[in-house]
């Protein structure tokens, strides 16, 4: 009996210990920071990192510390600040997340941070406050990470943070410092200076200068002879993030990426990632990266850094130093990047060790055909078909072909061309893109496609002209046509933004003029029709002449704007 009681007591003690570890109450490991898991710590590089928002401090300063996971989360951790080469904690922490708690180590309150549960975690943020007195020296933040019970890493450290009584305030950036082979005179400067002569530059619009234009998306790369390091910088306007990528092709997937964006606290930090397709990229350890500086000013996000990480795109075979360059930007939410709203891709593969100015990818011919068809459909044939049905029924009054009024045949022919062009354009876009793409344009395009497809089907089943329910068809048919027109114009504007690469966005301005011209002629035709209904027209012949004159004016202006836009799309 006593034997069984001893076994039960031992089991209870073991369970209590397990609960203790999962709850993060690990003050017994404050000195060596080693989990008491009866296993040895991993000796391989940790898939986790410790970063800080500044590289120097003075008494009483606060430093933001981030624990970051790659694609594999951690379930447990412990974090301390120690003097470089020291073994005792110093300073104090504060935390804002329910996944982290404060511990007392070596009698010093709040001198360590640990987990509160064994739930998977990808990032933890803490704020460390330096002592306000004492003999301070440079520090490092040291952490232990637990992946599972038998797999953990001890002594994962940040770069040293130097004690400096005249330390500058933080710059809203995650900074990691180490020795670099680049002289200070060769630092990148977020400008186009040196493009093509000392560094590779890729920008959108082409040849824009981020130091001058606030709408400039800019990527530059510079190498040093005899060194594997690459110094990179990126900048551009965004409320969430900007990112640069290296790819074997001009599509998303298997791309080496660096992301410069806002974290959950609104700070700008750098992340290394790998894209696996049309989903959030896998975050990697930052790796051999140094000299990280980042900033945000009036929603313009900038990062520069030096990396010795090899570029990895998981090539199927062979090796090459040539890559397509990518710049993307988009929103973020609590540090998690969202679907990019803008993408710029180089039109050729680039050797980043060879200084040059890189041009962006031209739109594929199929996408240009898609845009041209939609423009012709809803700004020319569709507009003419709607004008004829609304305002020109009396122009060829009494003339019939195949038992139908001339205006009706013209209206049906033009609208059939419009719907056919819309269907073809829709198929072309999806065949080229190969799936769904983010943004408002495809949503608007799909709605236009659905409503346009429904319009002729509903017309086929309309009741007779003198049926007492005919007015329902007339109103629904007209309102649906107006809705399609408005949505199509919105889709064209969002679509032209992909083609408009010049700083003055002249394609969008021409489209604005196009819409204004159509609106003006619609108003004139509407006024003329109302005058005619109120017997203001002197005769039927004069009224017909005026209607034909307005139609000719509309057609000539329409063709002028259409040709300008088609030329712009073709040369984009």
- Output the six-digit token pair for 497: 């933004």
What residues contact residue 157 under an 8 Å CB cut-off, 6+ apart? Answer: 50, 140, 141, 142, 143
Interval 227-241: pLDDT, tens: 778 999 999 999 899
Over residues 405-412, mean pLDDT: 82
| Residue 19 in this model has a pLDDT that exceeds 70 | no
Interval 360-383: pLDDT, tens: 755 667 888 888 898 898 888 888
Looking at per-residue confidence, does 55 or 249 come out higher?
A: 249
What confidence score (pLDDT) does residue 165 get? Answer: 63
| Residue 441 in this model has a pLDDT that exceeds 60 | yes
Q: What distance lies between CA 43 and its chain's CA centroid? A: 36
| φ/ψ (deg, to 5) at 105 | -120, 135
Q: Return the minimum-mean-pLDDT range out of 134-143, 273-282, 320-329.
A: 273-282
- Of 275-289, 368-382, 400-414, which one has max mean pLDDT? 368-382
According to DSSP, residue 91 is labeled S
Q: In angstroms, rounded to a whole number, what is the distance separating the alpha carbons of residues 103 and 25?
A: 8
Give the percent of the chain with pLDDT over 70. 83
Over residues 402-431, mean pLDDT: 84
Interval 454-498: pLDDT, tens: 888 888 888 777 788 888 888 888 888 889 889 988 888 888 877
| Residue 163 in this model has a pLDDT that exceeds 90 | no
Peptide bond before residue 401 is cis, with ω within 30 degrees of 0? no
Are residues 26 and 114 in contact, defined by beta-carbon separation less than 8 angstroms?
Answer: yes
pLDDT band at 24 (very low <50, low <70, confident <90, very high): low
Are residues 13 and 26 in contact, defined by beta-carbon separation less than 8 angstroms?
Answer: no
Q: In angstroms, rounded to a whole number, what is the distance separating the alpha carbons of residues 363 and 344?
A: 10
Name the 3-class secondary structure at 135.
coil
Q: What is the mean pLDDT of the chain?
A: 80
What confidence score (pLDDT) does residue 9 get? Answer: 47
According to DSSP, residue 463 is labeled P
Place of tokens 């301390």: 80
What confidence score (pLDDT) does residue 176 get? Answer: 35
Q: Say what the pTM is.
A: 0.43
Over residues 351-368, mean pLDDT: 80
The structural domains of the chain, ordered by start, are 23-163 (2.60.40.4060), 184-358 (2.60.40), 365-570 (1.20.120)
- Output the six-digit token pair for 209: 């200068």
pLDDT band at 314 (very low <50, low <70, confident <90, very high): low
What confidence score (pLDDT) does residue 45 get? Answer: 84
Q: Of 80, 45, 75, 44, nearest to 65 (Cα)?
A: 80
């Amino acid at each position: 009996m006593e034997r069984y009681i001893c076994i039960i007591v031992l089991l209870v003690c073991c369970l209590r210990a397990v609960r203790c570890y999962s709850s993060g109450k690990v003050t017994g490991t404050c000195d060596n920071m080693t989990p008491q898991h009866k296993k040895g710590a991993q000796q391989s590089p940790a898939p986790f990192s410790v970063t800080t928002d500044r590289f120097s401090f003075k008494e009483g300063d606060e430093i933001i510390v981030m624990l970051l996971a790659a694609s594999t989360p951690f379930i447990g951790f412990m974090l301390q600040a120690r003097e470089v080469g020291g073994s005792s904690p110093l300073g104090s922490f504060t935390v804002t997340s329910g996944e982290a708690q404060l511990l007392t180590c070596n009698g010093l309150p709040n001198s360590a941070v640990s987990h509160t549960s064994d739930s998977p975690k990808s990032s933890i943020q803490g704020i460390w406050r330096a002592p306000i007195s004492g003999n301070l020296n440079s520090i490092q933040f040291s952490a232990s990470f637990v992946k599972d019970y038998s797999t953990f890493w001890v002594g994962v450290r940040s770069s040293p943070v130097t004690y400096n009584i005249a330390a500058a305030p933080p710059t809203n950036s995650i900074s990691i410092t180490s020795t670099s082979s680049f002289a200070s005179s060769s630092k990148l400067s977020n400008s186009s200076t040196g493009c093509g002569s000392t560094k590779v530059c890729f920008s959108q619009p082409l040849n824009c200068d981020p130091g001058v234009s606030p709408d400039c998306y800019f990527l530059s790369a510079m190498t040093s002879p005899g060194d594997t390091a690459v110094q990179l910088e990126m900048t551009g306007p965004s409320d969430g993030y900007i990112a640069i990528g290296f790819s074997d092709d001009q599509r998303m997937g298997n791309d080496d990426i660096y992301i410069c964006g806002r974290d959950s606290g609104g700070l700008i930090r750098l992340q290394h990632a790998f894209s696996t397709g049309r989903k959030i990229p896998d975050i990697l350890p930052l790796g051999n990266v140094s000299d990280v500086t980042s900033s945000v000013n009036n929603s313009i996000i900038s990062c520069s850094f030096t990396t010795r990480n090899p570029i990895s795109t998981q090539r199927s075979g062979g090796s090459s130093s040539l890559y397509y360059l990518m710049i993307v930007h988009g929103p973020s939410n609590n540090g998690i990047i969202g679907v990019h709203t803008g993408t710029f891709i180089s039109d050729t593969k680039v050797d980043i060790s060879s200084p040059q100015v890189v041009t962006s990818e031209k739109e594929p011919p199929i996408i240009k055909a898609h845009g041209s068809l939609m423009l012709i459909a809803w700004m020319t044939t569709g507009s003419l078909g709607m004008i004829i049905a609304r305002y020109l029924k009396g122009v060829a009054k009494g003339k019939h072909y195949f038992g139908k009024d001339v205006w009706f045949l013209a209206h049906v022919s033009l609208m059939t061309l419009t719907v056919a062009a819309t269907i073809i354009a829709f198929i072309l876009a999806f065949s080229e893109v190969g799936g769904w793409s983010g943004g408002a344009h495809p949503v608007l395009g799909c709605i236009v496609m659905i409503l346009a497809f429904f319009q002729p089907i509903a017309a086929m089943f309309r009741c007779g002209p003198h049926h007492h329910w005919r007015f329902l068809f007339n109103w629904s048919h007209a309102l649906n046509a107006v809705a399609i027109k408005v949505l199509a114009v919105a889709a064209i504007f969002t679509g032209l933004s992909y083609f408009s690469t010049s700083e003055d966005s002249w394609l969008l301005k021409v489209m604005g003029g196009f819409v204004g011209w159509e609106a003006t002629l619609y108003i004139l035709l509407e006024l003329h029709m109302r005058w005619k209904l109120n017997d203001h027209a002197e005769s039927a012949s004069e009224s017909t002449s005026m209607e034909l004159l307005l139609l000719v004016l509309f057609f000539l202006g329409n063709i002028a704007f259409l040709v300008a836009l088609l030329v712009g799309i073709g040369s984009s």
